[in-house]
């Protein structure tokens, strides 16, 4: 037996990063989580704290002015923020989702300009794939981009866009050749200030209420041709490749939310007394906590393994990204629901954080592809 066996554990640096993000999140983000949810307002304190400590987009490579964090470090940042406030965790998560198409497929000029601006905190990045009529079947999108000399002209509607309105930069997938379906889709960088870009009213949601979700309208938006990400017709492939990586970050969000709920419930059962003793002394309660911790740890191990695959871009990343997202989000839903159960009637009220966590957990089963879609992806990419 030896303590120097370094498989199946995170490095000292990853552990130090977790400590740093946890203290930051507890001091600067947690105190506003209930209010952000209650008022459905943007968590500006979290944005400030994350940007102030260079944690808002840690994935941006150092050559573009970023922190250059690996995929596992990025997961740890998102997980620790989600543990105290899921809405706030969408800041680092969606900054990665929105900008990764540029990082994976963009020209050097696009990368330098937009990844640099993101890293410097000049603006956040959103990802525009879904449409009113194209959700799970994203390739069925209608937003059109038509070439006009050195420009492309965009028209259409994107729906469910996280951080729409607060983000400065948008990766937008649009049809450039309607004959070719998914191979006729291209990706572009659109700026909030481009003429013809506007936003719908914020959606009224069950959870992640602090994270604005809005429609984005493109009304004859003329953008220079060099804002196309990669070659014409590669936009859908880029969008899917992006999701392979970022589904791991949704898994991170799910385990973070679940950890927050488990930590809270663990403390509560020690304090709450019924039948003359702490409810933690009842085996029925202990078994629930044991199951919650077991599922959470299994989800975390799968997520970290997937993060390592994301960092290396392993051939089986598509399966692992979908599996981690699907498993971790299902588990987070179970754990947060059980946490509410362990708090009894109190858990059902907004005086305690676990009902918020339960509402927040639900979205992780839906976005970046519903868990049905994840199962389709897994089935097509069985290891």
Partner 1 sequence: MTLKIVVCVKYVPDATGDRRFADDTTTDREGVDGLLSELDEYGVEQALRIAEASGDAEVTVLTVGPDDAKDALRKALSMGADKAVHVNDEDIHGSDVIGTSAVLAKALENTGFDLVVCGMASTDGTMGVLPALLAERLGVPQVTLLSEVSVEGGVVKGRRDGDAATEQVEAALPAVVSVTDQSGEARYPSFKGIMAAKKKPVAELDLDDLGIDADEVGLAGSWTKVADITARPARTAGTVVKDEGEGGKQLAAYLAEQKFI
So which residues are the catalytic ones?
A: 368
Nearest CB to ligand FAD, comparing residues 10 and 370: 370
Interaction between residue 140 and ligand FAD (CB under 6 A) = no
Interaction between residue 136 and ligand FAD (CB under 6 A) = yes
Report, in Å, the least distance between residue 276 CB and ligand FAD.
Answer: 45
Binding residue count for partner 1, defined by CB under 8 A: 18
Report, in Å, the least distance between residue 3 CB and partner 1.
Answer: 12
CA 235 to centroid of chain Cα atoms: 20
Please tell me the distance from the alpha carbon of residue 337 to that of residue 355, in angstroms, as a whole number.
8
Strands 197-199 and 213-224: antiparallel
Q: Is 70 left (phi over 0), alpha (psi -120 to 50) or beta?
A: beta
Residue pair 206/359 in contact (Cβ under 8 Å)? The answer is yes
Return the one option of ligand FAD, partner 1, none that residue 366 interacts with (CB less than 5 to 8 A, by type).
ligand FAD
Nearest CB to partner 1, comparing residues 45 and 334: 45
Nearest CB to ligand FAD, comparing residues 135 and 200: 135
Interaction between residue 240 and ligand FAD (CB under 6 A) = no
Q: What is the DSSP string of 156-196?
A: EEEEEEETTTT-SEEEEEEES-GGGGGGGEEEEEEETTSTT
Interaction between residue 9 and partner 1 (CB under 8 A) = no
Which residue shows structure tokens 């968590």?
A: 43
Interaction between residue 220 and partner 1 (CB under 8 A) = no
Report, in Å, the least distance between residue 86 CB and ligand FAD.
Answer: 11
Q: Which pair of structure tokens corresponds to residue 190?
A: 């659109």
Interaction between residue 16 and partner 1 (CB under 8 A) = yes
With H, G, I as helix, E, B as strand and everything else as coil, classify residue 122: coil
Q: Is 269 left (phi over 0), alpha (psi -120 to 50) or beta?
A: alpha
Return the one option of ligand FAD, partner 1, none that residue 30 interacts with (CB less than 5 to 8 A, by type).
none
Window 121 to 140, contacts with partner 1 (CB under 8 A):
none
Nearest CB to ligand FAD, comparing residues 227 and 325: 325
Nearest CB to partner 1, comparing residues 56 and 325: 56
Q: From the CB of residue 284, how many other CB atoms can be counted at a distance below 10 Å?
A: 7
Which residue in the set 157, 278, 308, 366 belongs to the binding site for ligand FAD (CB under 6 A)?
366
Report, in Å, the least distance between residue 142 CB and ligand FAD.
Answer: 13
Q: From the CB of residue 91, how many other CB atoms can be counted at a distance below 10 Å?
A: 29
In sequence order, what are the residues at sequence separation of 6 or more whose Cβ sits closer than 8 angstroms to the Cβ of residue 336?
257, 258, 261, 354, 357, 358, 360, 361
Nearest to 246 by CA among 120, 375, 127: 127
Residue number closest to ligand FAD, CB atom: 135
* Interface characters, 345-364, with ligand FAD (x: CB under 6 A): ------------------x-
Interaction between residue 47 and partner 1 (CB under 8 A) = no
Residue numbers at the binding site for partner 1 (CB under 8 A): 12-13, 16-17, 20-21, 23-24, 53-55, 58, 62, 67-69, 73, 77
């Amino acid at each position: 037996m030896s303590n120097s066996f370094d498989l199946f554990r995170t490095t000292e640096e990853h552990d130090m990063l977790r400590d740093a993000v946890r203290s930051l999140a507890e001091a600067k983000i947690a105190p506003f989580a209930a209010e952000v949810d209650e008022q459905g307002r943007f968590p500006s304190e979290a944005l400030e704290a994350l940007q102030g400590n260079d944690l808002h987009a840690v994935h941006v490579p150092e050559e573009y002015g970023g922190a250059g964090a690996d995929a596992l470090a990025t997961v740890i940042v998102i997980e620790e923020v989600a543990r105290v406030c899921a809405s706030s965790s969408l800041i680092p998560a969606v900054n990665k989702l929105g900008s990764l198409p540029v990082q994976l497929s963009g020209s050097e000029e696009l990368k330098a300009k937009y990844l640099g601006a993101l890293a410097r905190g000049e603006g956040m990045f959103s990802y525009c794939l879904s449409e009113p009529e194209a959700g799970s079947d994203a390739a069925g999108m209608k937003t059109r981009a038509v070439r006009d000399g050195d420009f492309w002209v965009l028209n259409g509607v994107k729906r469910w866009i996280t951080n729409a309105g607060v983000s400065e930069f948008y990766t937008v997938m649009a049809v450039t050749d309607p004959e070719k379906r998914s191979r006729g889709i291209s990706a572009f960088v659109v700026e909030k200030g481009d003429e013809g870009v506007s936003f719908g009213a914020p959606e009224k949601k069950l959870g992640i209420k602090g994270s604005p979700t809005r429609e984005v309208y493109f009304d004859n938006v003329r953008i220079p041709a060099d804002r196309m990400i990669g070659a014409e017709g590669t936009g859908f492939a880029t969008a899917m490749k992006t999701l392979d990586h970022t589904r791991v970050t949704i898994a991170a969000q799910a385990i973070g939310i679940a950890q927050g709920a488990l930590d809270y419930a663990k403390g509560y059962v020690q304090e709450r007394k019924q039948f003359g003793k702490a409810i933690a002394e009842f085996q029925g309660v202990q078994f629930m906590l044991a199951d919650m911790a077991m599922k959470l740890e299994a989800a975390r191990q799968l997520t970290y393994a997937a993060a390592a695959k994301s960092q290396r871009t392993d051939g089986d990343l598509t399966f692992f990204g979908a599996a981690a997202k699907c498993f971790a989000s299902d588990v987070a839903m179970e754990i947060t629901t059980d946490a509410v159960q362990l708090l009894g009637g109190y858990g059902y009220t907004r005086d305690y954080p676990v009902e918020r966590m339960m509402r927040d957990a639900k979205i992780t089963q839906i976005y970046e592809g519903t868990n049905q879609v994840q199962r389709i992806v897994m089935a097509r990419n069985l290891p």
